[in-house]
Amino acid sequence: MKNLGIYRVITYLLLFVAAFMSVGVFTSLLAALANPVGLLQVFVLACIIIYTYCSWRFLVRGIDKGIPSKPVMRDLIKVNAYVSVAVGALLFIVMACVIVLPELFQNVLEQTRAAQPPGTDWSNDEILKGARFAVGFLVTYGALLLIHPFMTFRLLKQFPQLFQEPTN
C-alpha cells in the first residue's frame, strides 16, 4: 500500500496522544465511579486508547513482521474504531464551528476569563493563545481520528490472513 508511510505517521501521532489520555483515564476512573455520567467519558476515552493501541500493534506485529494475531484483535480494532470515528467527527465538527464562528469563540473566551480564580495572572493574550492552540490541536486530532480508522479498515481487508486461527 502506497499510503503505509502516512498510516504509520498518523498511528504514532495517535499513540503519543493516547499515552497522555491513558494517564487521564486512570486518574479519573475513581472519580467516574462516583459519578455515573463520568463513566461514559472514561469509556469513550478508553475505546480510543484501545483502538490506538490495537491498530499500532496490528501495524508493528502484523504488517511489519507478519506475525498473525487472534481474530479477537481484529474485532477490538473494528469495534473501537467506530467509537473513534464518532468522537473524531464530533471533535472536528465542533472545533470547526468554533473556528468558523468567531462570536462563539469570543463567547468561550469571555467565559474563560470570568471563570479564572482571583489569584491568576493570565493576560487576555495568554488565554487567547492557549485557546487557539487547543482548538487547532482538537481539530487536527479529530481529523486524524476520522482518517485513521478508514485506513485501518482498508488494511484489515488487505491483510485478512493475519487474523486466521492457526491450523494444527
Total tally of structural domains belonging to the chain? 1
Q: Which residues contact 8 (CB under 8 A, 6 or more apart)?
A: 59
* pLDDT in the model for residue 1: 55
Confirm whether 80 is domain-assigned. yes
Concatenating the DSSP letter of every residue in the chain gives -TTHHHHHHHHHHHHHHHHHHHHHHHHHHHHHHHSHHHHHHHHHHHHHHHHHHHHHHIIIIIIIT-----HHHHHHHHHHHHHHHHHHHHHHHHHHHHHH-HHHHHHHHHHHHHTS-TT----HHHHHHHHHHHHHHHHHHHHHHHHHHHHHHHHHHH-GGGGPPPP-
Confirm whether 65 is domain-assigned. yes
- Contact predicate 63/159, CB 8 Å: yes
* pLDDT in the model for residue 129: 85
Confirm whether 81 is domain-assigned. yes
Confirm whether 159 is domain-assigned. yes
Which residues in the chain show pLDDT less than 70? 1-2, 166-168
Confirm whether 131 is domain-assigned. yes
Confirm whether 168 is domain-assigned. no
- pTM higher than the cut 0.75: yes
pLDDT in tens, 29-52: 888 888 888 889 999 999 999 999
Structural domain that includes position 9:
4-163
Confirm whether 78 is domain-assigned. yes
